[in-house]
A and B are shown apart, each in its own frame.
Chain A
Amino acid sequence: MPFSLLKYGLNNDYPFEKDADLPPPVPLKSHYDVVIIGGGGHGVATAYYLAKYHGITNVAILEKGYLGGGNTARNTAVIRSNYLTSEGVKFYAESVKLYQELSNEFDFNIMYSRRGQLTLAHTDSAIRAFRQRTEVNKHFGGKTELIGPQEIRELVPTLNMNPGHLPVLAGLWHMDGATARHDAVAWGYAKGATQRGAELHQLTEVTGIKTENGKVVGVKTNRGDVGCGVAVQAVSGHSSLLAEMAGFRLPIVTYPLQAMVTQPVKPFLNPLVSSPAYHCYVQQTGRGEIVIGGGSDPYPLYGTRSDLNLKEGLLAHAIELFPFMANLKLMRQWAGITDMTSDYSPIMGLSPVENYYLDAGWGTWGFKSTPICGKTMAELVASGGKVPDLIKPFAMDRFDTFRQVNEMGATAASH
């Protein structure tokens, strides 16, 4: 036996990380420079970059449940940047870049896996839209190509090229498409933030926002009141409820989004495959399970139940694309509540309340943006409210001036 193996076997430090855990809970202080509402990926990433790049560590992340237990734990982990608008593509491409370095940066494996995303065109109009997306993506340095049936067959031999009345005509092949382990992303950011001095308070629900002269001065929680200089809300499906506490409304409606996963099978599918026409996307995890996701529920609801109506429709479509899946069993199903905007772009930056900043409207597509949201929100906080260029197009007032950033075609059913 090699000597080094024996040495590691007898060494107490290896292979355990010394600071593997989050620090134990501490009492809430009466005041923080920055309070971050919501301990999902976006909230903890904001705390991380505040500490790392701006030296701001008197920060509390308040999470009503547990770390990353919201949509961060529920998404299907698609990471990509092949959007339609230049504002969107620039922003998401920055996020993909940050993701690629994240395991190294954390010294913790987020299981980033770049395997490409293939979006299927079943109609001529879809091909036209894909052409446009290909060009916009290439312009901003993304790796995206329009490919034909032969290349699709080679990439995904198990795909049914003639499902029902919608034959597969072409594909948008986005080589940067990837997945990552979503829990690990939240853990990595939370560890990095708390090691640098930020506090993560789980089981701490914000129940009110205190303002004076139009300025935020603190929050009420189930564990008492906390004063703050700045507050950031990053609560996904609950965005409208927090805004209401702060005294304003958001152009957001909350819809459930469901997903499910089958029993594991041998590896058969490397790329992420998405079909907007079938409102369905399919991918295989490293464990062999097949993740199936689709469009939002057809009406607004604050409910994380998973229902039969959606499952029947979604599975029928998934089986059209991959007929052999008809023999598989479902293992798990779940739903998250998502804060949808009408243009499928987020609402980030300033709010009507001074020093109260928004990271909202992330709907069904905000896992991929976790790093760049954290980074830009931290810049916004650290600069005292100077909105970074990258998120200027996502200002809340774009709805009052009819300057939406329309990503509908690039978002629906492909996340």
Chain B
Amino acid sequence: MKIINCPLNGPRNASEFVYGGEVKQMPDPAACSDREWAEYVFYHYNGTGEVREWWLHAPSGYWFIVERHRVTGEISRTYDPSELDQGEFFASVPGAAEEINS
């Protein structure tokens, strides 16, 4: 079986993991336009390069970041979300960055 390297639990069977979508910036739902919200919810990266993605290690409930190639499927890096620059994807939601830290 394919093995994914979990930053918390080490190498585990792929069947223990759940794909959680691309890492992207969430607009402020209270302030953004319908078009911006649609962009966030429905329009995802669907190219042929490498993407940063959220993945969950289901047995331990741990979310982390995977850098994965969309054609070869190869995973080049996995790491804890604290390594992300949180401004990158929570910038416009007041209070969100603090929430994830607590």
Contacts and interface: CB of A to CB of B under 8 A. Distances in A.
Contacts of B38: 251, 399-400, 402
Contact of B1 (A241, A300, A301, A308): A308
Contacts of B18: 298
B101 interface: no
Which 6 A/B pairs are nearest by Cβ-Cβ distance? A299-B19, A251-B42, A240-B46, A399-B42, A400-B38, A302-B71
B71 A301 contact: yes
B95 interface: no
Contacts of B46: 240, 249-250, 252-254, 300
Contacts of B71: 301-303
B1 to A, nearest CB: 6
Interface residues of B, number: 22
Interface of A: 240-241, 244, 249-254, 298-303, 305, 307-309, 313, 342, 399-402
Contacts of A254: 46, 70
A402 B2 contact: no
Given A309-B1, A399-B42, A402-B38, A240 B47 contact: yes
Contacts of B43: 249-251, 399
B70 A300 contact: yes
Given A254-B46, A307-B2, A399-B43, 18 more contacts: A241-B48, A244-B47, A249-B43, A250-B43, A251-B38, A251-B43, A252-B46, A253-B46, A300-B70, A301-B71, A302-B70, A303-B71, A308-B1, A309-B2, A309-B15, A399-B38, A399-B42, A400-B35
B2 A298 contact: no
B47 A301 contact: no
B19 A298 contact: yes
Nearest to A399: B42
